[in-house]
Amino acid sequence: MYDILICDDESTIRNGLKHLIESSTMKFNVSGTASNGFEALRLIKEIKPEVVLIDINMPGLTGLEVMREVSVHAPFTKFIIISGYDEFQYAQQAIQLKAFDYLLKPIDKKNLFVVIEKACNCAVKEKKDCHYPTAENFNITDETIDYIYKNYRDSELSLSNISKDLHVSESYLTRIIKKKTNMSFSEFLTKLRMEEAISLILSDSSISSLNVSEKTGYKSQHYFCKVFKSYTGMTPTEYRKKHM
């Protein structure tokens, strides 16, 4: 089965595409859906699907920004842009970011399946040709970044416990994280937690700041709100009102 991710802020589009793909006889599995750019970014990094169907205009991050951010984390994932905007500037940017195809709404069902199948086949072929490393033979840099992605929601995550688990000195971890991400460990950790916080806030209008802080690795709601405002320029409440 090929994993497909659907990213669109319109629930009717998301659900319609999900139903259409799941009811087909093709070997496609809808492994997730996202209603905003930050949620899309998180799911792509976690799932690494063969194909992502993504709208250009979404809350948080645009589809093009998601493609730009995630390229190093899911190098073989193929992006199919779905948009109601028939403007050359979008198509041009999508091409520059190596989008597999660009489809306009309303989407032609027959053409959609043809494009998805071609994209899946292309993704699988590139993986085989590249001999992409498995978890067993990751180098220590990839292993460190992967460790952080898997554990950033843990309030106890620190350079010290990463060092102990991976049997690498803290000073060496500091250098390789900086080289890989162009950020310090704390900056990178904050970025991941804030992306997750924004995704939660935009995905659930009823979720409290306390709940978000607990889900993103912060023991103190007050400290979480302070970091969130420093990162976005707004409180969680202000951010929700502006983007929903």
Report, as an integer, the average pLDDT of 187-199.
93
Paired tokens of 142: 């990839």
Report yes or no on whether pTM surpasses 0.85.
no
Q: At what angle do helices 88-96 and 63-70 cross, to 10 degrees?
A: 10
Report the candidate in 79, 65, 11 with the shortest Cα–Cα distance to residue 37: 65
- Residue 133 pLDDT level (bands cut at 50, 70, 90): very low
Report, as an integer, the average pLDDT of 14-40.
91
Report, as an integer, the average pLDDT of 121-146.
72
- Specify the fold of 2-130: Rossmann fold (3.40.50)
Q: 119 in helix, strand or coil?
A: helix
- 184 sits in the region (left: phi over 0; alpha: psi -120 to 50; else beta) called beta
Tell me the C-alpha distance between 98 and 94, whole Å.
6
Task: Decide if 213 contacts 220 (C-beta within 8 A).
Answer: yes
pLDDT value at position 130? 64
Tell me the C-alpha distance between 124 and 50, whole Å.
7
Q: What is the residue whose two structure tokens read 């190093």? A: 72
Q: What is the pLDDT of residues 102-129, one digit of tens each?
A: 888 888 888 999 999 999 999 988 887 7
| The CATH number of the domain covering residues in 137-243 | 1.10.10.60
pLDDT value at position 89? 66
C-beta atoms surrounding 68 within 10 Å: 13
Instruction: Kindly list the domain boundaries of the chain, sorted by start residue.
Output: 2-130, 137-243
Report CA dihedral (196, 202, 208, 212) to the nearest 10 degrees. 0
Q: What is the pLDDT of residues 178-187, one digit of tens each?
A: 988 899 999 9
- Consecutive H or E run containing 7: strand 2-7
